[in-house]
Structure 1
Amino acid sequence: MEGPYLSTVSETIQAAIAPVFLLAGIGAFLNTMVGRLARIVDRARSIEELHPRSSGPEHERHVWELRIIDRRISVINNAIFLCTASALAICLVVALMFVSRLANLHVGIWVAVAFIISMLLLISGLIYFLIEVRMSLRAIHVREELLELDR
C-alpha cells in the first residue's frame, strides 16, 4: 500500500490552519475565563472569612455578595465548559479533515457539522461569559455611606 503523498499532507495542513488559529483564540478566551474564576473564588474566600464575624447590615451585605458570587461561579463554569467543548469540536474538525484526505473518505458534511457545532458552542460560551461580566458589574457597588454624598 502506498502512503500519502507529501503534497496531500501539506495541502491538508494548509486547510487546517484556520481551525488551528481558532483553537488558539479559544485557548486565550479559556485563559481569561479561568483567571476570572480564580478571582471570583478568591473573593468568595475572603468574604467567607469575614462572614462569621459580621453582624447587622454588614452581615446582610456579605450574604448578598456571596449569593451573587455563587451564581457567578455557576455562570463562568458554564462558559468554560461550552468553550472547552467548542475547542474539542474544532479538534474533531481538524482530525476529520486529515482522515478524509488521507483515507480518501467523503466526510465533508461531517466536517461542516462539527464546525457549525463548534461555532454554536463558542457563541453559547461567550454569551455566558458576557452574562458573568454583566453580573460582576452589577455586584460592584460602593456603599453610599463611604461615598459621603451628603457632604
Structure 2
Amino acid sequence: MFMADFDIGQIGKLIQIAMAPAFLLLATGNILQMFANRLARVVDRERVQMAEFHRTQGEAHIRVVNELRILDRRADIVNKAILMGTLSAITVGVVIASIFVLSLTGYRFGQIVAGGFILAMAFLIAGLVLFVLEIRMAMHTIRIEERLLKLDGE
C-alpha cells in the first residue's frame, strides 16, 4: 500500500495513533527544561564556590574544595539525566515518524513502534532516576547546624 492508496480517513487514524507519542514528546520537553534549570542552579553554585576557592585557607578552603567536588558530581549526574531525556525525545520522534513512514509504505509497524516506545520510556525513566539521585545528593550535602535551628533562650 502506497500513499496514493490512502484516503483522508486512514491518514486521520494515523494522526490519532501518533498523538499519544506526541504528548509524551511534549512532556519530555518539559522534563528536559526542569533538568536544565537544575543544572543551571548547580553551575551557579559552582561559580560562587570557585570564587571562594581563591579567597579561603585552612578549614574554610577544605570545605570549599569538598563542596566543589560534590557540585562537580551533581553536574555530571544532571548532564547524564539530560542525555537520557534527550535520547527519549529523539526516540519518540523516531516512533512518530515511523508510524507514518511504515504505514504509508505498507509495512506492519506494531512491533517497531512498541519497541521504540519501550526504549523511549526506558531512557526517560533512567533520566528521572538520575534526577532523583542528584536531588538526594543535594539534600544530603545541605545539613543545617542544630544550633541554627534554635531560637535564643531555647
TM-score (norm 2): 0.90
Could you report, residue by residue, the CA deviation over 1:67-115 in whole angstroms, capped at 9, with x for unpaired residues? 0000001100000000110111111111111112211111221111111
Structure 2 residue 31 is matched with structure 1 residue 15: no
Q: Distance in 2 between matches of 1:120 and 1:50?
A: 40
Q: Secondary structure at the match of 2:54?
A: helix
Aligned to 1:68: 70
Alignment of 1:47-62 (within 5 A): 47-62=49-64
Question: Offset at 1:20?
Answer: 0.7
Q: Which range moves more in the overlay, 97-106 or 75-84?
A: 97-106
Cα pair 2:103 2:109 within 8 Å, conserved: no
Gaps in structure 1 of 5+ consecutive residues? none
**Post-superposition, which runs of at least 4 consecutive aligned residues in structure 1 deviate over 4 A?**
148-151
Unaligned regions of 5+ residues in structure 2, if any?
Answer: none
**Number of matched pairs:** 150
After superposition, the Cα gap between the structure-2 partners of 1:100 and 1:56, relative to the gap in structure 1 and judged at 3 Å, is: same
Normalised by the size of structure 1, how large is the TM-score? 0.92
Identify the range of structure 1 (95-104 vs 70-79) with the bigger mean alpha-carbon deviation. 95-104
Give the match for residue 29 of structure 2.
Answer: 27
Partner of 2:44: 42
1:137-148 paired onto structure 2 within 5 Å: 137-143=139-145, 147=148
- 1:143 Cα deviation after fit: 4.6
CA contact (8 A) 1:8 1:101 kept: no
Given that 1:37 and 1:76 are in contact with CA atoms closer than 8 Å, whether structure 2 keeps it comes out as yes
After superposition, the CA RMSD in angstroms is: 1.8
My pick for the range that moved more, 99-108 or 56-65, is 99-108
**Alpha carbons 2:42, 2:75 under 8 Å: kept:** yes
Query: Aligned residue for 2:130?
Result: 128
Report SS of the residue matched to 1:105: coil
Identity over the aligned pairs, expressed in percent? Answer: 39
Q: Deviations over 1:99-146 (max 9, x none)?
A: 12211111221111111111111111110011011011111123566x
